[in-house]
Amino acid sequence: MDGTALNVNADATPNNLEPYWMPFTWNRQFKKDPMLVTSAKGMHYTSADGREILDGTAGLWCCNAGHGREKIVEAVQQVVSHLDYAPSFQVSHPLPFELASRIRSMLPGDYEHVFFCNSGSEAVDSALKIALAYHRVRGDAARTRLIGRERGYHGTGFGGISVGGIVKNRMFFGPLMNGVDHLPHTHNLEHNAFTRGQPQWGAHLADELERIVQLHDASTIAAVIVEPVAGSTGVLIPPQDYLKRLREICDRHGILLIFDEVITGFGRLGKPFATEYFGVKPDIITCAKGLTNGVIPMGGVICRKGIYDAFMDWADESGNTIELFHGYTYSGHPVAAAAGLATLDVYNEEGLFERANELAPYWEEAVHSLKGTRHVIDLRNLGLISGIELEPRPGAPGARGYEAFKRCFEKGLLIRVTGDIIALSPPLIVDKPQIDQMYTTLREVLENLD
Ligand code: PMP
């Protein structure tokens, strides 16, 4: 130590932006014209130049209870000061057990076991490994193929980008995993543009799964993974009955169904998880983000009883047993688990999932009030999610979206863009005037955009 006090002040502007290689960011553009926030409270960030920015995206779909929640902050402070770390295997501590029980109580049915990790990407790769190992341990070792979906986003691990279907996220990293197929995505402006809620057209796209199954033989397929509502690709709402049809085909052929609920988990659709909203039960659910309100990184893989039991029940003739040889140094970390427990308390005490459910019709009206606004070629919504698709500028895909993003930030609204699609997913504490403000700002920005 050179005696200099440690500077952890978020208000201090960094004097060199270069060393930090930012993820998923146009680094050169950012470093010329940085957009920094220095604090957050409730529905707002404060920018480095002292402006209030209305959070239209719950950070990155994670701060469902809004920012600066004292109960969560206190839980984190309390735990870190008396148990900073405990080993994640062979030894543990009480908090992840309690958190797993709480998650289990939020789901109808036999979702009895939760495996913890540190992010959505880790949750996805863990879920894929659990699915593969589950079949092995049951003696169904030929089931090694995985099926994802075009335009799907399942994080950035090799498993996640293999089953994922966003071209830019895959293109530099091949050859990726073997034995992966992709269902078609459900985006279709010809049939579904400006649909409110779930589109009527498109359930038949699930039947493509049957074709893939026939092609490879059902006995070779381990699992299908989809986001119930695809977020990062630009908000694709599942057509009515689509998810149900996937479930039926999986059931027919002994294939596990995984719902990646990293964005839909914890109230985004007005229910604890999308499985309840859609009435379709996957075998495995991945979650992260809203699990800790974004305060401390954490992810989870929620499994139906039979999956865990397959490992627990296995024994060879000599009585040797087996375990899942997988995990992370920080699985079930005390500070993350404490943040998770406090977060679930806040959701519960404030009835935030019910609040999201009640606000959803108002949200829908607000989203569709943008119909006719310049550049808008589609509007989509479900729960407290919306997608606003802009016509790309000829020869410059993504440019219009990025400009909209920058101008919204200047005008005090944080949105998220993927290419030319704007996604909004506010904290569930949002109120009606704030919803109005979001869409008024967006309308002004879009009307004045080239
Ligand atoms: N799955 C889905 C559906 C996601 O939306 C995301 C993140 N946007 C991830 C996985 C990856 O999560 P993380 O960034 O925490 O790794």
Q: What is the mean pLDDT of residues 308-330?
A: 96
Cα(301) to ligand 1 centroid in Å equals 13
Model confidence at 3: pLDDT above 60? no
Pocket probe mutation, ligand 1, options 22, 60, 125, 153, max atoms within 8 Å of Cβ: 153
The reply to whether 7 falls in a domain is no
Both 54 and 85 in one domain: the answer is no
Give the atom of ligand 1 at the shortest distance from the alpha carbon of 231: 5
Last residue in a domain, options 349, 378, 397: 349
Q: What is the mean pLDDT of residues 268-297?
A: 98
Q: What is the mean pLDDT of residues 339-358?
A: 98
Torsion, CA 343, CA 24, CA 333, CA 103, rounded to 10? 40
Model confidence over 209-228: pLDDT tens digits? 999 999 999 999 999 999 99
Both 166 and 306 in one domain: the answer is yes
Residue nearest to atom 13 of ligand 1 (CA): 120
- Model pLDDT, residue 1: 41
Enter the tokens of residue 68. 């600066």
Amino acid at 401: G
Model confidence at 321: pLDDT above 80? yes
The reply to whether 231 falls in a domain is yes
Both 149 and 227 in one domain: the answer is yes
Strand partners, 52: 46
- 209-212 long-range contacts (CB < 8 A, ≥24 apart) are 209/147, 209/183, 209/246, 209/249, 209/250, 210/249, 212/147, 212/181, 212/183
- Model pLDDT, residue 5: 61
- Residue 42's H or E segment, with its range, is none
Cα torsion angle, 433, 434, 437, 438, sign: negative
Both 91 and 128 in one domain: the answer is yes
Both 224 and 371 in one domain: the answer is no
Rounded Cα distance between 143 and 141, Å, is 5
- Model pLDDT, residue 4: 54
The average confidence (pLDDT) of the chain is 97
Both 408 and 315 in one domain: the answer is no
Enclosing domain of residue 359: 27-65+351-447
- Model pLDDT, residue 6: 63
Last residue in a domain, options 292, 315, 349: 349
Both 201 and 150 in one domain: the answer is yes
Both 291 and 439 in one domain: the answer is no
Residue nearest to atom 12 of ligand 1 (CA): 120
Cα(171) to ligand 1 centroid in Å equals 18
Both 166 and 314 in one domain: the answer is yes
Both 56 and 90 in one domain: the answer is no
Model confidence over 245-269: pLDDT tens digits? 999 999 999 999 999 999 999 999 9
Give the atom of ligand 1 at the shortest distance from the alpha carbon of 286: 1
- Model pLDDT, residue 14: 87
Q: Quick check: helix, strand or coil at residue 270?
A: coil
% of residues, the chain, pLDDT over 70: 98
Number of domains observed in the structure of the chain: 2
Cα(257) to ligand 1 centroid in Å equals 18
What separation in angstroms does the CA of 422 have from each of 208, 406, 408?
29, 12, 11
Give the atom of ligand 1 at the shortest distance from the alpha carbon of 261: 3
**Buried/exposed 75-112: b ≥16 CB within 10 Å, e otherwise:** bbeebeeeeeeeebeeeebebbeebbeebeebbeeebb
The reply to whether 2 falls in a domain is no
Q: What is the mean pLDDT of residues 26-52?
A: 95
The reply to whether 61 falls in a domain is yes
The reply to whether 18 falls in a domain is no
Both 233 and 355 in one domain: the answer is no
Both 355 and 333 in one domain: the answer is no
Pocket probe mutation, ligand 1, options 166, 263, 385, max atoms within 8 Å of Cβ: 263
CATH of the domain at 104: 3.40.640.10
- Model pLDDT, residue 91: 96
Pocket around ligand 1 at a 6 A CB cut-off: 119-121, 124, 153-155, 227, 231-232, 260, 262-263, 288
% of residues, the chain, pLDDT over 90: 97
Please state, as a whole number, how many other Cβ atoms lie within 10 Å of the Cβ of residue 448: 9
The reply to whether 6 falls in a domain is no
Cα(25) to ligand 1 centroid in Å equals 16
Last residue in a domain, options 349, 383, 400: 349
CATH of the domain at 415: 3.90.1150.10
The reply to whether 301 falls in a domain is yes
The reply to whether 14 falls in a domain is no
Q: pTM here?
A: 0.97
Model confidence at 2: pLDDT above 50? no
Model confidence over 176-219: pLDDT tens digits? 999 999 999 999 999 999 999 999 999 999 999 999 999 999 99
